[in-house]
Structure 1
């Protein structure tokens, strides 16, 4: 899929778009911010950010979805990313037959508290269920990341403690190893969408 044919999603305040070369500078700053990366094992170097951005663009070109760059028209050309991703690790919830797709976000701290993550994620859920035909979308984060968990709850995702897991890409015994898992099924999303509409 060519970059110019990738979907762009729009909400009342946001544009979720394919990445541009100019996004690398603010993306590198985002990934080097200790506050933003508090719930990750480490900040990212500029080289790691370049590698990550290249992979994001490749995955979006391949699948037609991924981590969209987020723009706030009239405010900022890039504030981070929100989107859908296929986890590339083994965990109990990834061992089912259906493709597993997660929803996630990472925004610059100066744009926290404005509802952007929830607003953009709602549009990504719509795209995932309506356009991609997904039956379920999950989200996960560390047990300590209560702000992201609150976003998941605002989206209407549900949490069963039996689904919580130790992230295989985090070192054993690390304070961030344990993760919580939230789920949203298409039929539950459709009911919420009908009620909201």
Structure 2
């Protein structure tokens, strides 16, 4: 089931067949994992547990989904909105993680804009957050480009130091 659609991308619910693709594309790649997570790669079983716990299986639009090219349904990564209380309120965090071969093609900006539109308009969020490692300059640049502003930096258990970007519904 499609959750968000853009000119080139589809954010859809996860299928069982996506787990191995995500593992090969993202979760077993140290370079991708160092930009998105702690840097530690995951086993196939750990990937399955992560997907089971965090991905949208029924189309509610409030979890992660599979990010695929609209033209041929090639999986390029994952993206979505997750409940987030980092700033002490019930917010949603947007995010995107792409396989390395899909970096630098404008996909992050495209899905980032669509997530903001979806979160603020369709879900009625008053603000959205994005958390990024300070060393991840490419993602920080994307967040600025899509209208988010650096709010603060904090330490998050199991995720390390993160810059927190914010966009408000009235901005």
- Is the TM value for this pair above 0.5? yes
Is there any run of 5+ residues in structure 1 with no aligned partner, and where? 171-176, 189-197
Matching residue of 2:79: 82
* CA root-mean-square deviation: 1.9
Residue 131 of structure 2 aligns to a residue in which SS?
Answer: strand
Q: Deviations over 1:39-85 (max 9, x none)?
A: 3221111111001111124x554954211211103355211111111
- Give the count of matched residue pairs: 168
| Counterpart residue number, 1:51 | 49
Structure 1 stretches of at least 4 aligned residues deviating more than 4 Å after TM superposition = none
Is the CA contact (8 Å cut-off) linking 2:3 and 2:59 kept in structure 1?
A: no
Tell me which protein shows more strand as a share of its residues: 2
The higher radius of gyration belongs to 1
Aligned twin of 1:154: 145
Structure number with the higher helix fraction is 1
Residue in structure 2 matched with residue 183 of structure 1 by the alignment? 166
Contact 1:26 / 1:79 at 8 angstroms: preserved in 2?
Answer: no
Residues 100, 137 of structure 1: 8 Å contact kept: yes
Q: Write the mapping of 1:1-197 to structure 2, written as runs, cut at 5 A.
A: 8-29=3-24, 30-39=26-35, 40-41=37-38, 42-57=40-55, 61=58, 63-87=60-84, 91=86, 93=87, 95-96=88-89, 99-160=90-151, 163-170=152-159, 177-188=160-171
* In structure 2, distance between residues paired with 1:117 and 1:86: 20
- Distance apart, 1:164 and its partner CA: 1.1
Return the TM-score normalized by structure 2. 0.90
In 1: Cα distance, 2:57 partner to 2:136 partner: 27
